[in-house]
A and B are shown apart, each in its own frame.
Chain A
Amino acid sequence: MTVPFAADAPKGRMRIALLVAVTTVLLSGCDRELRRFEKPAKAPAPSPATGQRSSDIKPGQNAEGLTETAVAETYDERNAYDVAQGKRLFRWYNCGGCHARGGGGMAPALMDDKWRYGHTPEQIFATIVEGRPNGMPSFGGRIPNEQVWQLVAYVRSMSGLVPKDAAPGRSDSLGGASPPESQRPEASPRDVPPPPPS
């Protein structure tokens, strides 16, 4: 054992520790954009028939009253690919026709902290699939469940409810005035009853 070697030993250990730390950080990013291209297993519960209200849910109700449609078989809001696909589908299916870019128009805003029918993924899934009074159409049977879950993830990203590293950082189209979803402050969701029909 020579003196220089002994002096190097702590440095070498530091280097190994650093390598392990960097590798861990890099590996943890591997699933960020995981894409599942295989056909998902058949949905456990059939989607509600088109055009029918399949639930007796009422405005302002809590998660307890939800039907069995809300089984998050493919939901992963930490997956940036799923959130980005949701953003594309939001445009494709013309959600913006009523909700605008999340700021609301004919339909309620999606980027604020207020939720009429609940903010959990299961509640938002039920809202999209079943439709809601005063204009929200039922998309059950129109959109495959996996796509609904992607939409759910995107809707939640609008008010900062998904991890920042998974939320979209840019738009395919020319952007609006609002910052990208990845820069939205996390709202603390509040369940509020909808205003009485006028």
Chain B
Amino acid sequence: MNALHDALSPAGPQAQHIAELWWLTLAITGAFFLAVLVPLIVALRRRSGASEQTPADISSLTAGEPRARRIVIAAVGASALGLFVLLAASVLTDRALARLPLADALQMEVAANQWWWDIRYTDPDPSRAFSTANEMHIPVGRPISISLKANDVIHSFWTPSLHGKKDLIPGRIATITLRADAPGVYRGQCAEFCGVQHAFMAFVVIAEPPEQYERWAQAQRAPGAEPANAEQAKGRELFLSGSCMLCHNITGTPATGRTAPDLTHVASRSTLAAGTLANNPVDLRAWIEDPQRFKPGVNMPAHHIREDEMAALVAYLGALK
């Protein structure tokens, strides 16, 4: 999936504030960089005009250097002023980030696991809450408040086009608030080294118009699709009688595992295993057969499943739109 992953192309107010601070920092530090380097180069290139016989200039031992002194004092003053401007800008940016209007905010909970994202849309009415994994949809223009927690080690939630990084620390709950002002697909990534498969711990945020988001959310609240034919029914039977259900959840069936990604609507997602593979029947089958081939160390074990049974299982999972 082609998703934006760029802190300099902000798609919301939070990332906008951070990008502005970044450009200001670049401008000030760049100006000082040039103010140091250009005089240095000029001085190095200037011909001294002295020969070997010219006596050393030791006049500064007896007379002062008022011009050089003025220049140094001015440069120190300007540096201090530049640093103060950056300090003030940083504080103001922090205040702006904390003051995102949160009226009517969409509440979510994200739990980081080795190596996937458990995404739960909470609701005052529990029957309207639902879970998904590694792919979140959000309505454009509406603030989002996400509470973050980690189940094993420290992770970091980072969608550069929407906001900066926020660490997820086991035993603590952090909160990140953001808003997307432009529809689009924004890539996120774990930004704190969390084990061998840290690199394959990606997610996408799909920002879409509110009515489109509501349609998606309504579909996600529904239980998993009933098997449409005998093969899918056999696949469900295998899912429920084998080891899948010990870790995975499919709402509407006895499978209620919570230690692995929710599969109720797995076929509606674009990737498998947190951005490791595309979500298509071929890759899904290869993944179930031997996840360690694609993501060594992942907590999903390899499975010895007969050809026909594997086809049924993939058919069932592929129909969970």
Contacts and interface: CB of A to CB of B under 8 A. Distances in A.
Contacts of B292: 37-39
Contact of A50 (B241, B247, B289, B290): B241
A38 B302 CA distance: 9
Nearest to B300: A144
Nearest to A147: B301
B247 A92 contact: yes
A72 interface: no
A114 B292 CA distance: 37
A62 B297 CA distance: 36
A39, A143, A147, A174 — most chain B CB neighbours (10 Å): A39
A50 B153 CA distance: 34
By size class, the interface of chain A is: 10 to 19
A149 to B, nearest CB: 11
A144 B303 contact: yes
Contacts of B151: 172
A37 B302 CA distance: 9
Contacts of A38: 292
B232 to A, nearest CB: 20
B297 A143 contact: no
Contacts, number: 39
Given A40-B302, A43-B304, A93 B246 contact: yes
Interface in B225-264: 241-243, 246-247, 259
A101 B297 CA distance: 25
B170 A172 contact: yes
Contact of B301 (A42, A43, A144): A144
Nearest to B259: A92
B292 to A, nearest CB: 4
Interface in B260-309: 289-290, 292-293, 296-297, 299, 301-304
Given A141-B242, A143-B246, A172-B170, A35 B297 contact: yes
A146 interface: yes
A141 to B, nearest CB: 7
B152 interface: yes
B301 A146 contact: yes
A131 B293 CA distance: 32
Contacts of A37: 292, 296-297
Contacts of B299: 88
A67 to B, nearest CB: 19
A147 B296 CA distance: 16
Interface string A141-164: 111101100000000000000000
Chain A interface, DSSP helix/strand/loop, else mixed? loop
Contacts of A174: 171
A175 to B, nearest CB: 12
Contacts of A42: 304
A108 B238 CA distance: 32
Contacts of A43: 304
Interface in A148-197: 172, 174
A144 B299 CA distance: 12
Interface in A52-81: none
A142 B170 CA distance: 29
Contacts of B259: 92
B170 A141 contact: no
B205 to A, nearest CB: 28
Interface in A16-47: 35, 37-40, 42-43
Contacts of A50: 241-242
Contact of A39 (B241, B297, B302): B302
B242 A142 contact: yes
B247 to A, nearest CB: 7
Contacts of B301: 144, 146-147
A144 B302 contact: yes
Contacts of A39: 289-290, 292-293, 302
Contacts of B243: 141-144
A174 B151 CA distance: 11
Interface in A87-105: 88, 92-93
B293, B301, B302 — most chain A CB neighbours (10 Å): B301
B195 to A, nearest CB: 11
Contacts of B297: 35, 37
Given A39-B293, A142-B243, 10 more contacts: A38-B292, A40-B302, A88-B299, A92-B247, A92-B259, A142-B246, A144-B301, A144-B303, A172-B170, A174-B171
Interface of B: 151-152, 170-171, 241-243, 246-247, 259, 289-290, 292-293, 296-297, 299, 301-304
Give 4 nearest A-B pairs by CB, closest first: A37-B296, A39-B302, A37-B292, A144-B301
6 contacts: A35-B297, A93-B246, A141-B243, A144-B302, A146-B301, A147-B301
